[in-house]
Amino acid sequence: MRVLVTGATGRYGYAAALALRESGVDVTALVRDPNTDVARDLTSRGVRLARGRRDQLDHVEDALADADGLFLAVGGPGASARTTAERAEALVRAADRTDATVVHASLVEADARPGVPLVDVRGRIDADLASRGVTHVSLRPGVPLDAFERARDAVETEGRLSFPLDGHARVPLTDPRDVGRAAAAAFTDSRPPAGERLPVVSGTHSLYDVADVLEALLGRSITADPRGPTAAPRSLTAFYRWANEGALLGVDADALPARYGVDPAPIRDYFGRAGWR
């Protein structure tokens, strides 16, 4: 099994590349710059690098030529809407032309098309893969736990957990490593993906829940400091406003374990592994 991973220097692509290697899969990462620290780290872990851009169809097709599968990640909110759309078009067309099986790093409730660019583009990708008849599965993480890294300094120095959630708003949280584990399971399972939409979440939690987890882990008082969506980076404000409204609560957390036997880890595991203190 050979898999091409896009976005391998980012959140979910990196996790997928490592999980696939741990599963014995031959992994190639498509990267713009093979000399970055993350790219070198991937190489040291047995991941081959192919230099190219996700928005260039010929680059993707060349890298996919000897691959059986494609881990499709269009990138985070920092990319412009135009860049993200160009990446999506090239990746989906290349998968269609080469008959690669696709695992897409989408988002929970992406089918809703709420007018949030970060969400809508992933919903369009899922729809495009389905309309073209591409063998695929859509993995659907919620709010990534590494988003809390922005609050880490205040937690460790002041015992205060600030985050763009309102009061007792609850959102599904995702450890990026679980997306990698799910991708590895999807590519190596004997049954080919059949267009499933599988949430990858460790339950739904409020900011107070997360503060309680950190209290227990760190052994000291942590105060939740709800800030609301306007406290999010500008590129994420619309997403967090949508999340605060409860739009992400209708997820079926049991679908992934039922399909691939992958149980997302408790959120405490992320913070412990990331060295919060």
Determine the pLDDT at residue 76: 80
CB atoms < 10 A from the CB of 36, how many?
12
Domains delineated in the chain:
2-273 (3.40.50.720)
Letter string b/e over residues 40-76, b meaning 16 or more CB atoms within 10 A of that residue's CB? eebeeeebebbebbbbebebbbebbeebbbbbbbbbe
Confirm if 11 and 144 have CB atoms less than 8 A apart: yes
| pLDDT tens-place values along the chain, 277 residues long | 999 999 999 999 999 999 999 999 999 999 999 999 999 999 999 999 999 999 999 999 999 999 999 999 998 877 777 888 899 999 999 999 999 999 999 999 999 999 999 999 999 999 999 999 999 999 999 999 999 999 999 999 999 999 999 988 999 999 999 999 999 999 999 999 999 999 999 999 999 999 999 999 999 999 999 999 999 999 999 999 999 999 888 899 999 999 999 999 999 999 999 999 8
Identify which of 166, 243, 157 has the alpha carbon closest to the alpha carbon of residue 207: 166
Identify which of 24, 21, 97, 25 has the alpha carbon closest to the alpha carbon of residue 65: 97
Determine the pLDDT at residue 83: 86
Determine the pLDDT at residue 77: 78
Determine the pLDDT at residue 75: 86
Determine the pLDDT at residue 256: 97
Burial environment of residue 149 by CB neighbours within 10 A (0 to 12, 13 to 18, 19 or more): exposed
